[in-house]
Amino acid sequence: MTYIQKRWIIDKFMEKNKDNTIDKSLKYRLYLWSFYSVSIVMKNIFATKTFRIGYMQAPTGYIFEPISFIAQDVETETKGYKSAKVMIILGFVLNLIVALAGQLAILLPNASGPTIQSSFEVILGNMPRLFVASLTAYLVGGTLNSKIMDNLRKRNDNSLFFRAITSTIVGQFADNIIFTTLAFAGTMPYGQIVSMSLSMTVLETLYEIVFYPITKFTITKIKEIEG
């Protein structure tokens, strides 16, 4: 076999291997952004119901929020703050689209009976105050989470676990305190607002700690594939 033939075989192998790497990278990135988008939508849809466990009270939608923060952590750690910022803006746009679609569904002439119409109004017809509170909290909390994660990553003097948990605590608390203040100020004692915000932050942080192995695995896998 001549040198040219050997070189051609090697080049073809490298080209195929590169294509496989790109395919795997896109696949993982697609999964990540898809889970993120779904979690953002679920958070707002299920926020209508509030649950209580002992002294802790929180909107049901917030059990899905740590998924979005985990996704932001993975994106920030592997692509940087600019890419995570695009992800956050995408979530904002998706929230807006779903909210407008919900209003359209409510406004369309009802032919399914009064029970269906009233259910749509309760679940999809979030009051403007709650909607503004949710989007404002999401933008501030998500941005803080990714920004802190990125700044800590650039320092190179801390662990991935420290970066993920620290950014989550700050981002989640900002999200919670902004949402509860804007949504319930004047209708709920401020002490209860702070207590609810702290409770949700603790719950969401524990959530991320439990699922940290998945966060680490995803980050490691993406970095291995993308080099």
pLDDT greater at residue 127 or residue 130: 130
* Interval 50-73: pLDDT, tens: 777 776 667 777 777 778 888 888
Please say if the pLDDT value at position 9 is more than 50: no
pLDDT greater at residue 143 or residue 187: 143
Residue 207: what pLDDT? Answer: 83
Range of the domain at 130: 3-51+58-226
Structure tokens at 139: 């933008």
The mean pLDDT of 142-153, rounded to a whole number, is: 91
Q: What are phi and psi of 157, to 5 degrees?
A: -125, 25
By CB atoms closer than 10 A (0-12, 13-18, 19+), residue 195 is: middle
pLDDT greater at residue 123 or residue 206: 206
By CB atoms closer than 10 A (0-12, 13-18, 19+), residue 224 is: exposed
Residue 44: what pLDDT? Answer: 74
Tokens 């956050």 belong to 88
Residues in the chain: 227
Distant-in-sequence, close-in-space partners of 226: CB < 8 Å, separation ≥ 6: 21, 25, 78
Cβ atoms of residues 151 and 179 within 8 Å: no
Residue 21: what pLDDT? Answer: 53
Structural element, H or E, at residue 23:
helix 3-45
**Helix (H/G/I), strand (E/B), else coil: 59:** strand
Mean of per-residue pLDDT scores for the chain: 80
The mean pLDDT of 116-125, rounded to a whole number, is: 75
Structure tokens at 223: 């970095």
Q: Where residue 227 falls among pLDDT bands split at 50, 70, 90? A: low
Please say if the pLDDT value at position 14 is more than 50: no
Residue 8: what pLDDT? Answer: 42
Structure tokens at 52: 């209580």
Tokens 């750690």 belong to 77
Residue 146: what pLDDT? Answer: 92
Residue 166: what pLDDT? Answer: 92
Structure tokens at 67: 């998924």
Q: Where residue 147 falls among pLDDT bands split at 50, 70, 90? A: very high
Residue 161: what pLDDT? Answer: 93
Task: Give the total number of structural domains in the chain.
Answer: 1
pLDDT greater at residue 3 or residue 198: 198
The mean pLDDT of 119-138, rounded to a whole number, is: 76
Rounded Cα–Cα distance for residues 92 and 96 (Å): 6
DSSP for residue 52: E
Residue 10: what pLDDT? Answer: 43
* Interval 15-55: pLDDT, tens: 444 455 556 777 778 888 888 888 888 877 777 777 777 76
